Amino acid sequence: MRIYNTLTSKVEDFEPINPPVVGIYACGPTVYDYPHIGNLRTFCCVDFLRRTLEYFSFQVKLVINITDVDDKIINAINQKKVSLREYTSIYEKYFFESIERLNIKGASFYPRATEHIKEMVDIIKELLKKGLAYKTEDGSIYFSVSSFKDYGKLSKINKDNLMVGARVNVDQYDKENPVDFALWKSYTPEDGEVYWDVEIGKGRPGWHIECSAMNRKYLGQPFDIHAGGIDLIFPHHENEIAQSEGAFDIMLAKYWFHVNHLIVEGQKMSKSLNNILTINDIDDPIALRFLYLQTHYRNKLNFTFDNLKGAKSALNSLTAFTSTLVDIERFFEEEKEEELNEEIEKIGKKFKDNFDEALKDDLNTPKALSSLFDLMHDVYTFINKYPKQFKKREAKFIIDLVNNADSVLGLDLFKVEPLPDEIRELMLMRKKAKDEKNWSLADEIRNKIREKGYIVEDTPWGTRCRKA
Ligand SMILES: [Zn+2]
């Protein structure tokens, strides 16, 4: 498998440190707000990566952290007069709900920053000892960027812009200048109840040190893949490297995987434009997942509701295909003697080769997806041409291939939504009418079912009913 590595700016062969285990760390949500569909794109692409590695028989250990303390959270709880945990648990829950609705597989660990203060303090002590960090008069501790020679190697920022000794202690800064950043922020009255009284002083951690501490604890150092949104490359990931590699003189992560931005109807999502979308704005989360698959993770994705509609109908054509396969598989009896049709075997092999090759090529999910549509087209063409040669064995063969592919895509292609009782009863009435050759009544019932939003289809392999 080949994968693009931000660190080397190259597509490289993927060789894990301790195969078959692959350790992945993805920077998780800051739980002060609902995750928007741009954040969710990153987690979905990490899920594609994880499922692809599992598809190719690797054992993935995935860690997604929860940032549950930062400036914004502290401001919010002071305003709302609630405890840190009360506040963050709401957004934590929402994050988990969002990823579940997108069929994102669970991580091995979801460590919370507030539960790993000791690990952060240990790294900060090491950095102080090595002269890579210094304490200021107010008791805060900063990382000394000019003392770390490799600073800038990930983001390729221009070191000439180095502002020696300039400091920043807010969690988010978008200046292009590398400046000394806070590892530990000394206590101020605005922090209220949020502080830890530890040997390096009373205060709370900076954002970057949280990730260095948690990925080291759960994955060791070095680990295989560090993932996140493209906007985290600088300063967050650059600073993680500075802290972890500065403290322990070992590489932090071998591969750096970054997911590009998502824009909405051609514009950046922002509060001022009032266009921030969360999972609740999406009526069909699996169609959104389909949309994510359609764009390569390194390209910008322009989300539009028209595209979502398109994704939905493409998804419907795939599930109609899988339903047909299942109907055929059920319709025919097992035939022991017969061998798999050669032409179908060829069609299946071509699909699997193309699908696997696409994924191996830097996780080319749009190409993998289109190979599935090619398969659908080829199979339909075959069935139309040789309807008597596509039977149980052939259907089962294609079902297995699609099912396998869906273990990566995660589109629930074989999930059957149970019909409501009312529709099931109408279907039984229609069957009775048909058995009695009462065609006009059968048609009448079909129309009634249509009015309730369901479509009845009579196929050579039986009758099927699905949501319109
Ligand atoms: Zn992080």
Length of the chain: 468
pLDDT tens-digit series, residues 225-282: 999 999 999 999 999 999 999 999 999 999 999 999 999 999 999 989 999 999 999 9
Domain extent listing, the chain:
2-259, 307-409, 421-467
Percent of the chain clearing pLDDT 70 (strictly above): 96
- Determine the Cα–Cα distance for residues 70 and 406; give it in Å rounded to an integer: 38
Per DSSP bridges, beta strands 59-64 and 262-264 are unpaired
Q: Which residues contact 359 (CB under 8 A, 6 or more apart)?
A: 1, 52, 55, 56, 365, 368, 408
* Mean local confidence (pLDDT), 24-37: 96
Q: Ligand 1 centroid to 397 CA: how many Å?
A: 43
Distance, in Å, from the CA atom of 298 to the CA atom of 300, rounded to the nearest integer, reads 7
Beta-bridge mates of residue 12 = 3
Between the CA of 105 and the centroid of ligand 1 the distance, in Å, is 20
DSSP 158: -
Q: Is the pLDDT of residue 417 over 80?
A: yes
Q: What percent of the chain has pLDDT above 90?
A: 89
Q: Which residues of 14-58 form beta strands (DSSP E)?
A: 21-26
**In angstroms, rounded to a whole number, what is the distance separating the alpha carbons of residues 66 and 39?**
13
**Average pLDDT of the chain, as a whole number:** 94
Separation of CA 271 and ligand 1 centre (Å): 23
Q: Quote the ligand 1 centre to 245 CA distance (angstroms).
A: 15
Instruction: Give me the residues near ligand 1 (ion), CB cutoff below 5 Å.
Output: 27, 211
CA of 39 from ligand 1 middle (Å) equals 13
Grade residue 439 by pLDDT with cuts at 50, 70 and 90.
very high
Burial zone of 266 (CB within 10 Å; 0-12 exposed, 13-18 middle, 19+ buried): exposed
The CATH homologous superfamily of the domain defined by 2-259: HUPs (3.40.50.620)
- Amino acid identity, position 297: Y
pLDDT at 159 over 70: no
CA 110/CA 65 separation, integer angstroms: 5
Both tokens assigned to 19: 């195969």
pLDDT of residue 161: 65
Ligand 1 midpoint to CA 43 (Å): 13
Ligand 1 midpoint to CA 373 (Å): 37
Token digits of residue 211: 């990730």
Higher pLDDT, 177 or 329: 329
- Summarize pLDDT for 161-220 with one digit per residue, the tens: 666 666 766 665 544 556 899 999 999 999 999 999 999 999 999 999 999 999 999 999
208 C-alpha to ligand 1 centroid (Å): 6
Residue 29 CA to ligand 1 centre (angstroms): 9
Helix (H) or strand (E) segment spanning residue 330: helix 305-331
| pLDDT for 361 beyond 50 | yes
pLDDT at 177: 58
- Give CA 27 to chain center in angstroms: 12
| Residue 7 near residue 252, CB atoms below 8 Å | no
Q: Which amino acid is at 397?
A: F
Q: What is the pLDDT of residues 330-349, one digit of tens each?
A: 999 887 777 999 999 999 99
Chain Cα centroid distance, residue 292:
9
Residues 6+ apart with CB under 8 A from 349: none
In DSSP terms, which residues pair with 458 in a beta bridge? 463
CA 301 to chain centroid, in Å, comes to 14
Residue 386 in tokens: 């040789």
**pLDDT, position 174:** 45
* Mean pLDDT, residues 299-303 taken together: 98
3-state SS class at 415: coil
Asked if the model's pLDDT at residue 315 lies above 90, the reply is yes
- Tens digit of pLDDT for each residue in 112-133? 999 999 999 999 999 999 999 9
pLDDT at residue number 157: 85
User: Separation of 66 CA from ligand 1 center, angstroms?
Assistant: 9
Contact 397, 344 (CB under 8 A): yes
pLDDT beyond 60 at 419: yes
Residue 227 CA, ligand 1 centroid: distance in Å = 9
How far lies 41's CA from each of 161, 260, 274, 401, in Å?
Answer: 32, 9, 19, 26
Span 307-409 CATH architecture: Up-down Bundle (1.20)
Q: Are 398 and 375 in contact (CB under 8 A)?
A: yes
What pairs with residue 459 in β-bridges? 462
Token representation of residue 234: 């600088």
Q: For the segment 62-110, what is each residue's pLDDT rounded down to a tens digit?
A: 999 999 999 899 999 999 999 999 999 999 999 999 999 999 999 999 9
8 Å CB contact between 466 and 455:
yes
